Each structure stands twice: as C-alpha cells, then as structure tokens.
Structure 1
Amino acid sequence: MARITLDELKDMLAKAGGEGAGAPRLDGDAVDTPFADLGYDSLAMLEVTSMVELAYDISLDDDVAQTAETPQALLDLVNGLLAQAA
C-alpha cells in the first residue's frame, strides 16, 4: 500500500515554499503547527496539493488546505485516501 511519508511531504513543502534561505522549514514538532503559522500561504498549499495528487494519483478536495490545517492532518488525510484506494 502506498503511503506519503513526512520526508516526502517536507520535500514538497520545500519546493512549494521556495528553496531560499527564507523558506519555511518543517522541523521538530511542527507537524502539529498550522501551515499558516509555518509561513505557507494558500498558493503554496495549492502547489503542494497538486504535487500530492500527481505523485500519488489521487484527487483531493478543493478545500483540503482548510480541512487539513497542519502537516500531520494532511498526512492523515492523504494516507487515508490511499488506504481506501488500495
């Protein structure tokens, strides 16, 4: 069964948030911190959801950025969809 890992999500977030020195980082206990508090805006989250959809061949609702407000919530959501598809 396919699963998205925290490291894979970190890579996607790094690409969406920019690679520069000021790019938001997902370190430590930040998995339970809201994306907005981590510095990810709605455009970055749209890019991340697009990356997830392409990488895992799933479809996410348009409001996923509002329903999955933290990295852990997004991991849980995506892995739940992947489990259903398996």
Structure 2
Amino acid sequence: MAQMTLTELTSLLRECAGEQEGVDLAGDVADVDFTDLGYDSLAVLQAAGIIERDHNIVLPDETVAEASTPGLLLEFVNASLSAGASS
C-alpha cells in the first residue's frame, strides 16, 4: 500500500482547518510542532479521522495525541498503512 506523503498531509490539514497567515506549509514542516503551524489538537484529530476513513486504518487517540509534528503523525500513519498491507 502506498505511503502518505507530507504534501498529502499538509493538504489535508489545510482542508480541515485552513492555513495560518505567515505559515508556509509548502516548506519542510515535518519537524515543526503543530501548534507552531497554527493547528490545535482538534484539527489534528479531525485530520486523523479523515485519514482513518480514507485509508481504512485505525489510529488510537493516544497515538495521535503523541504526534506533536507532521513528521511524527506521518510515521504513525505510514506504520499503520504498512501493517494493514501485510495483514
């Protein structure tokens, strides 16, 4: 199964919660805290819910809460995608 990219994730975040003025999501934001990008935990949970629905995976709320950056969230998402593909 294909892996989710940073570009796909930032596009989804824009759709869910918009983009804060002065924040460039097109840059390398993988290691930037979600709060510094203008996203609160609800925006991240909403994005995670859409990822779960669209990719038929389950991301535990605790795991999503631990993902403080887009890079960490992608690690969790892609690990779940890989685990689902090998099942």
Look up the match of 1:5. Answer: 5
Aligned residues: 85
* Identical aligned residues as a percent: 42
CA gap of 1:24–1:15, structure 2 versus 1, over 3 A, is farther
Aligned partner of 1:82: which letter?
L
Conserved in 1, the CA contact under 8 Å of 2:3 and 2:78?
yes
Counterpart CA distance in 1 for 2:25 and 2:31 is 10
**CA displacement 1:42-65 (0-9 Å, x = unmatched):** 121111011110111001111233
Cα RMSD (Å) of the superposition?
1.9
Look up the match of 1:27. Answer: 26
CA gap of 1:23–1:14, structure 2 versus 1, over 3 A, is farther
Look up the match of 1:40. Answer: 39
Aligned partner of 2:82: which letter?
A
Conserved in 1, the CA contact under 8 Å of 2:7 and 2:26?
no
Unmatched tracts of structure 2, length 5 or more: none
Unmatched tracts of structure 1, length 5 or more: none
Deviation at 1:25, TM superposition (A): 4.1
Q: Any idea what SS the aligned residue of 1:28 has?
A: coil
Aligned partner of 1:72: which letter?
G
